[in-house]
Amino acid sequence: MIDSIELTNWKTHRHTVMNFQSGVNVLIGVMGAGKSSVMDAVSFGLFGTFPALSHRRTTIENIISSRPSREDSSEVRLQFGADGDTYTITRCISRGGGTTARLEKNGSYLQAQPERVNEEIEHLLKVDYDTFSRVIYSEQNRLAYFLELAKGERKKQIDHMLGLDSFAKAEENSVSLINSMRSLILDEEKMLAGIDVNELKKQLAGLATQK
Ligand SMILES: Nc1ncnc2c1ncn2[C@@H]1O[C@H](COP(=O)(O)OP(=O)(O)O)[C@@H](O)[C@H]1O
Ligand SMILES: [Mg+2]
């Protein structure tokens, strides 16, 4: 469970600390207050990216607060519990300077290589970014989109979302593989049926005497 998140210079959040409770947590605020930005920060904290960023609808630098003053860097600190331990991830973005990551376990340093931090999180949460962004994190308006789909199309989209379509594809492929093996076997059988064993034996005997 995510215990808390701390945002510094993250869009509208100059400095925001949120402590979450178990159960449902609701963010209330006027349009543009920065609610969706908190969801993006949760995703970014955990996996180093979020849907608008991974789909290139925004850039990492757009996140750093530019109003009321232009800041040089922003930071997300996220604390969560897993298997009885407390983990803290800190990710920093700086203008032109890329991002850094740091993972701590029960207050002790664990990892600071962004790729390795991501791997560690995937391992701890038993979910990768792909699944997280498809199944757990739902962007605004995506739910309504699902409800408005026709039944068959909805199933297709949900299969795709859960990555189940790859199994359907594998099933399709294995059926066509079985069919082509069957037709190969039939061809072989036909060829074998056409062979006259006695005739072959005679030919062999003939060859043996010639020798
Ligand atoms: N780099 C930035 N610096 C400061 N404010 C920003 C920056 N980028 C976007 N914003 C502001 O963030 C707000 C959008 O936040 P968002 O989380 O989508 O709001 P909500 O979901 O609460 O409607 C807008 O008001 C926008 O002007
Ligand atoms: Mg929003």
Nearest ligand to the C-alpha of residue 52? 1
82: pLDDT strictly greater than 90: yes
Name the 3-class secondary structure at 36: helix
Kindly give the distance from the C-alpha atom of residue 51 to the centroid of ligand 2, in angstroms, as a whole number.
Answer: 13
Specify the pTM.
0.77
140-166 pLDDT, tens digit per residue, is 777 777 788 888 888 887 888 787 888
| Ligand 1: nearest atom to the Cα of 65 | 3
Nearest ligand to the C-alpha of residue 40? 1
Residue 211: predicted pLDDT: 67
Pocket test for ligand 1, best of 8, 9, 10, 11 (most atoms within 8 A of CB): 11
Pocket test for ligand 1, best of 10, 12, 141 (most atoms within 8 A of CB): 12
Q: What is the per-residue DSSP string for 111-180?
A: E--HHHHHHHHHHHHT--HHHIIIII---TTHHHHHHHS-HHHHHHHHHHHTTTHHHHHHHHHHHHHHHH
Measured from CB, residues less than 6 Å from any atom of ligand 1 are: 11-12, 29, 31-37, 62, 64-67
Spatial CA neighbour of 22 closest among 3, 7, 41: 3
20-55 pLDDT, tens digit per residue, is 999 999 999 999 999 999 999 999 999 999 999 999
The residue nearest atom 1 of ligand 1, judged by CA position, is 65
Kindly give the distance from the C-alpha atom of residue 77 to the centroid of ligand 2, in angstroms, as a whole number.
Answer: 21
DSSP 107: T
Number of neighbouring beta carbons within 10 Å of residue 186: 10
